[in-house]
Amino acid sequence: MGRHKCAYNCESSDDSDVKFFKFPLYNQRKLKKWLLNMNWKDWTPTRFSALCINHFEEQHIDRTGKSVTLREDAVPTIFTSAGVTQKVCASTNPGSKKLKRLGGKASQSSSRSPATTVATTKRSVQNKEPSQTEEHAGDEDPKKSDRWRIIVDEGLMKIDSFPHFFHGDYCVPQAIQWAPDDDPSTECEDPERVIEVKEAWEWLGLDVRGPLPQTLNGHKYILTVTDYYSKWVEAVPMETCLPANVAKNIVDIIAHFGFPLRILSRLPHDIVHKINRELKEQLTVSIALVVHHQQTGTVDLITQQLIDRMVGDLAEEHAADWDVYLPAQVFSLCFTEHSKTKERPFSVLCCNGPQPVPSPRGLDYAYTTIRESAFVVR
């Protein structure tokens, strides 16, 4: 599969050696400049989003080192005009002949050639002052200026292979679902490094999403805990994402459903450590319940997508009181048939599963083994 395929009119569509660069998600000032130049409405980059090197001018590219990188002040400026891009995205399928015909008509209807359009776009971007660029980006839609994200370890952002797996949602239409070359949930060279999820409420995944629009109750974050086996979802609004707040909500969830084997999380290592310290004090246990694991979000991609869609809809439709609507949305997820199991999460967890475990469970795995293992849901 052409996993390196680029933008609609990008000349590097079939070039497997093309270089990709990740979005500066942790530099909001630079990110606003990138998004403004792209001029694609109603789109937000994810940690898998990337742009190919052909969207950057040569002056922004550093070729002096062992690998090609972007300069600190690099901003993408080479894009097809926004009107053409939006029309193609809205009415065509990738790789079809219809795409070429529509792109051709759009370019012919323009009074300037594509080369002139690109050159004009580059000059207009260069002539803008940084302050003017940021002000314009903020005035477009204040509700969408700050979009929520999943809080993850910054180390994950430095993995070079991610952009090649997912060449962003920008260059690829939303209808396409790109997948990595290697799926750790199904293949593993060392069978001793595979942990099977065979029962409900054994292995859970924990994420924190935000910041979202602050509600009237002061909530800005959502803590989600997912049971990988049953697909049951717990979601709790939080005012802050401090370890103490996260630990308190985990304690409440354990009080309802019992102790799992362990909880996987992609939060930064230091945050996971502080959460475990809080849990030991609040639960009076000696074990560390939360384990940092990079596979937290990929063990169950379908449920993650459902949660992301739920959070996105809440933030957009109920910005001032999304926390009030959150319980009903979670209820809907847990009582709707899951596309993978073909069962309702409620039925799997509460009707067929074992009784809640009132005390911490022992493990035959060392924590280093857990972090290095691949999880498979049976």
Domains present along the chain, CATH in parentheses:
20-152 (no CATH), 191-377 (3.30.420.10)
**pLDDT over 70 for what percent of the chain?**
66
Residues 256-271 have pLDDT tens digits of 999 999 999 999 999 9
Between 15 and 373, the more confident residue is: 373
Report whether pLDDT(333) > 90.
yes
Predicted local distance difference test score (pLDDT) of residue 253: 96
Predicted local distance difference test score (pLDDT) of residue 8: 43
The whole-model pTM stands at 0.56
Whose CA is closest to 195, among 291, 308, 339?
Answer: 291
What does the mean pLDDT of the chain come to? 74
**Alpha-carbon distance 231 to 318, whole Å?**
25
Residues 95-116 have pLDDT tens digits of 443 334 434 444 444 444 444 4
DSSP 296-347: TTTTTHHHHHHHHHHHHHHHHH-TTTHHHHHHHHHHHHHTS--TTTSS-HHI
The two three-digit tokens of residue 343, written as one number: 């069962």
* Average pLDDT of the residues in 181-193: 54
User: Which range has the top average pLDDT, 111-120, 181-190, 365-374?
Assistant: 365-374
Q: Helix H segments across the chain?
A: 28-38, 82-91, 97-109, 114-127, 130-140, 161-165, 243-257, 269-283, 301-317, 322-334, 345-346, 367-372
Residues 151-181 have pLDDT tens digits of 887 665 555 444 433 444 455 444 333 333 3
